Structure 1
Amino acid sequence: MAELPLITPDWPAPANVKALQTTRQGGVSMGVYASLNLGDHVKDNPPHVAANRQLLSAYLPSEPVWLNQVHGVRVIDAALSSCLESADASVATRKQVVCVTMTADCLPVLLCDHAGTVVAAVHAGWRSLCDGVIEATVAAMPVPAGQLMAWLGPAIGPEAFEVGNEVRAQFMAKDAQAESAFKAKGDKWLGDLYTIARQRLQRLGVTQVYGGGHCTFSESETFFSFRRDGDTGRMGSFIWLE
């Protein structure tokens, strides 16, 4: 079997913390979903999605705890999850329990502690990021925030995420320092999700933050992008304790 072209997060996580990030490459989906689409909610051929998830299973210790992501701030314990719970983040302290978030422009955030006792995966679309999904996830992890590190996976980049005044205003109402994450472009703004996530993490006391160098919108060969393509697939960001 050919190896999938996966991204391994570049961060100093403890040896028992395992994480991986898929791209759009290496699967069997066709057309706008080509080729490693993991989303079963995007009108792709269900057998293709199942086959793609099966390809991924060779790299994971168990079936991931898939979520019904709703752009909210609910966090679940992945080990206690029922099937497809509506939530946008999951935490695990039990070994071999795989947390996952699916994205195609939204920001995936992976978290772990220095001792390798807890991990989390966060779906930080702009709404959930603004409303505090990172804060809710850090609060749900049973260690002080200062013992955590974060990896920011591929999201829409600061030169592509164009928003109106109302989005910028919502972020600034929650945190005034968000002003520095927006750059004027005519009567619109270019927003930097990576900068906002770093600001939020820093304010919580999470000072070790890695990743944040990709743009799903501009790197069309590598990543799905909803903003760019509309109908498209989803990548997955996975983390677990070995």
Structure 2
Amino acid sequence: MNFVQGLPQGVYVGQTTIQHAQALASEHPELAGFNLALHVNDDPRRVQQHRMMLLNAFAEYGVDKITWMTQTHSTICHTVNQQITFDALMGDGLVTQTQGHALMMMTADCLPVVLGNREGTEVANLHAGWRGLAGGIIENTIEAMQSGATWAWLGAAISQPCFEVGLDVKDAFCVKYPALALAFEQGKQDDKFYADLYAIAAYILEQQGVELILGGDQCSYRQQHEYYSYRRNAKTGRMATFVFIR
């Protein structure tokens, strides 16, 4: 398992890919590989087995609890520590200060953002599509953290040349942060633009005082052998971004 380098000692961050040596076969070619989503009409037993494979791999690092979400493209963030919830948490952000608790976030073009403090005692994981970014999912998650965030890691998302949006999306950001006009390139039509999710997230993170920003150099749309992409194929699987404190 590959982990992100350059983070505080004891903090482990990474993202799954389509490729996995133990991925189970699927009846649906578009879901082939290491799909981790239950909501894409995959065989739930297959997905649960994939999730157990992850948990077993994490156990080597002391992980004994794993939290998934029902993601809603919202700005809702939950803090989860020792409590066990019987109903799936609704929202797009998770925070924990508990060692051995893995926070999971699923994506297939939207931007996964992992946050943490300098001491490595608090981490967060959030799902940032354009709606969440514009609404304030980064700001809300940092506010929910007890000690704030000093570093961030940006996982694989759709890159700017592949992400065409309308004027409404550009306005949603620029009304709030005028400087983000630079994150949009003019499209072939007057009311179309290419949006840079990485640049948008990095700007918001910097405004929130985040000192170190890692990642942000992948493309879920173009790297078809590594990542699922909803824009490439509307029926597709999901990767998972994870973070835990050993």
User: Which category describes the TM-score, using the shorter chain as reference length?
Assistant: over 0.9
1:121: which partner in 2? Answer: 125
Give the C-alpha shift of residue 127 in structure 1.
0.3
Give the C-alpha shift of residue 81 in structure 1.
5.6
Q: Structure 2 matches for 1:53-68, cutoff 5 A? A: 53-60=51-58, 61-68=63-70
Q: Structure 2 matches for 1:66-81, cutoff 5 A? A: 66-79=68-81, 80=83
2:9: which partner in 1? Answer: 15
1:162: which partner in 2? Answer: 164
Q: 24, 30, 33: which one pairs with 1:28?
A: 24
Q: Match for 2:243: what amino acid?
A: I
CA 1:91 to 1:40, structure 2 compared with 1: closer, same or farther past 3 Å? same
The number of residue pairs the alignment matches comes to 234
Name the Cα RMSD after superposition.
1.2
**Structure-2 separation of matches of 1:7 and 1:131:** 32
| 78-87 or 189-198: bigger deviation | 78-87
Give the C-alpha shift of residue 144 in structure 1.
4.0
CA 1:228 to 1:175, structure 2 compared with 1: closer, same or farther past 3 Å? same
CA offsets 1:188-229 (integer angstroms, 9 cap, x no match): 111000000000000011121010000000000000000110
CA offsets 1:103-161 (integer angstroms, 9 cap, x no match): 0000000111110110000100110011000000111111144xx10000000011101
2:40: which partner in 1? Answer: 42
Q: 158, 183, 186: which one pairs with 1:184?
A: 186
2:200: which partner in 1? Answer: 196
Give the conservation status (yes or no) of the 8 Å contact 1:65–1:81: no
Give the conservation status (yes or no) of the 8 Å contact 1:14–1:115: yes
Q: Structure 2 matches for 1:132-143, cutoff 5 A? A: 132-143=136-147
Give the C-alpha shift of residue 29 in structure 1.
4.5
| 22-31 or 34-43: bigger deviation | 22-31
The two structures have a TM-score, normalised by structure 1, of 0.93
Provide the secondary structure at the position in 2 that maps to 1:43. Answer: coil
CA 1:216 to 1:7, structure 2 compared with 1: closer, same or farther past 3 Å? farther
Q: Which 4+ stretches in 1 moved above 3 angstroms?
A: none
CA 1:49 to 1:177, structure 2 compared with 1: closer, same or farther past 3 Å? same
Stretches of structure 2 lacking an aligned partner (at least 5 in a row)? none
Give the C-alpha shift of residue 175 in structure 1.
0.8
